[in-house]
Every structure is written in C-alpha cells, then in structure tokens.
Amino acid sequence: MKTAWTEELCSSKPEQFEQLNAETWIQRKDIQRAPKKEDVPDPGFKCMSRMISTDVYEALQEEYESPVYKAIAEQQEGMDEANAEILLQQMQIQETQASQDDVLAEILLNIMEV
C-alpha cells in the first residue's frame, strides 16, 4: 500500500520514516525548513509525506542498501557540490562584470567631458 504524496508541516524536524503501527509507516521526502513568516517566529519544517505498508517499507530499505542506489546517491551528491561551485563562480563573474561596467562608464564620462 502507498498513498499519494501530500505536503506536511511539522514543528520539529521529522524523520524520513516513522512507524505508526505494525503495518503502517509514514515516508517523508524533501524535508526542509518552512519559509519564515512575520507572525510566526519559527515556522518549523515542511515536507512531502505518504503512508506506506510494512512490505513497501522493507522493499525501500532493501533498495537503499543496494550498491547501485548508494552509487547513484554519491554521484548525485557530487553533482550537487559541482552545481553549487558553478553557481558561486557565476556570481563572481557577475560581480566582476558589474565592476567592469562601472569602470567603463567612468571612462566614457571622462571622454565625453574632454
């Protein structure tokens, strides 16, 4: 049994898997801090969650322990790090371009004054 994914709000960081009873689990993904709001000092966490049966939970655990899944997860982690580095470099390029634009604008102003 698997139910549809729904959005869940939690006051504290939830676990990826939580057993409700002998046959039912909650599976969560995309766990992240909820966006801050003016009237709420600590909005907690938001995630997607669904109910799964014990047999689905056990199959997922088996899959997560497989060498293929672990290799894919490591590869994704490496790609995430590379993407973060690319974004940082793009930001540095934009800062450099903005600085150069300022210098060029000054040069043009000086030329026009002559």
Full-model pTM = 0.62
Q: How many CB atoms lie within 10 A of CB 28?
A: 18
CA atoms within 13 A on the CB side of 101: 6
Average pLDDT score over the chain:
92
- The model's pLDDT over 6-30, given as tens digits with 9 standing for 90+, comes to 999 999 999 999 999 999 999 999 9
The rounded Cα 94 to chain-centroid distance in angstroms is 24
pLDDT cut 70: percent of the chain above it: 100
- The model's pLDDT over 34-56, given as tens digits with 9 standing for 90+, comes to 888 877 778 899 999 999 999 99
